[in-house]
Amino acid sequence: MFHKEGQKIIFITLALVVIITLLADSIQIPWITKLIQVALVLVLVLILQFFRNPKRHTQQNENQVISPVDGKVVVIEEVEETEYFKEKRLQVSVFMSPINVHVTRYPISGKVLFSKYHPGKYLVAWHPKASTDNERTTIVVENKTYGKVLYRQIAGALARRIVNYAEQGQTVEQGSDAGFIKFGSRVDLFLPLDTKIKVKLNQKVKGGECIIAEV
């Protein structure tokens, strides 16, 4: 299954692969023809794997925050969140490489209180200032049990488009499709200080399934 955000790119890539493969057949040097065809197939495979959208089995629980994305935990620390809460929060950041699934999923069920897009730079996603300087979206979801959770989709050096489906006032379901980030990037979570973190630095997590924190 492929994500809807990739349908246009997949179609264009497939069309180009077919056209260039047919043109390559007219080249009189067989090894060059084969080299071109193999390269085209590899490009198509990379595009298909990037936009894959595997089904995830979310065990919904209002006491838990699940990982919004696939990737590796690169930050666990207490920080000052300056955009929405304007107070100290626990930040957990998950870095996604280009080979990870890039679907973003809602970390908790509840009501969307805040959703805002920020244009910005394209620093590498693990840069300390990426969270505040890069192109990003900030979303806050609240439920009665856990409270408010802020997650931030952040573009990386390769990511040039962030897709965010969250709209203020909308009721959302934990683990459901919240958006997509095209190419390498990261997601930051900002959680209450008394939350119990269930992951460790450098741990690999799976979006929609891995528990990040709980009350």
Mean pLDDT of 159-175: 88
Residues with a catalytic annotation lie at: 185
Answer yes or no: is pLDDT of 152 > 90.
Answer: yes
Answer yes or no: is pLDDT of 111 > 60.
Answer: yes
Answer yes or no: is pLDDT of 174 > 90.
Answer: yes
Answer yes or no: is pLDDT of 186 > 90.
Answer: no
Predicted confidence at residue 204, as pLDDT, reads: 97
Predicted confidence at residue 30, as pLDDT, reads: 84
State pLDDT tens for residues 56-82: 999 999 999 999 999 999 999 999 999
Instruction: Reduce the secondary structure of the chain to three states and give it as a string.
Output: CECHHHHHHHHHHHHHHHHHHHHHCCCCCHHHHHHHHHHHHHHHHHHHHHCECCCCCCCCCCCEEECCCCEEEEEEEEEEECCCCCEEEEEEEEEECCCCCCEEECCCCEEEEEEEEECCECCCCCCCCHHHHECEEEEEEEECCCEEEEEEEEECCCCCEEEECCCCCCEECCCCEEEEEECCEEEEEEECCCCEECCCCCCEECCCCCEEEEC
Mean pLDDT of 104-119: 95
User: Who wins on pLDDT, 71 or 159?
Assistant: 71
User: Who wins on pLDDT, 120 or 100?
Assistant: 100
Q: Which segment, 35-49, 91-105, 108-122, 190-204, is predicted with the most confidence on average?
A: 190-204
Answer yes or no: is pLDDT of 125 > 60.
Answer: no
Average pLDDT, the chain: 88
CATH class of 64-214: mainly beta
Predicted confidence at residue 41, as pLDDT, reads: 87
Predicted confidence at residue 167, as pLDDT, reads: 96
Predicted confidence at residue 24, as pLDDT, reads: 82
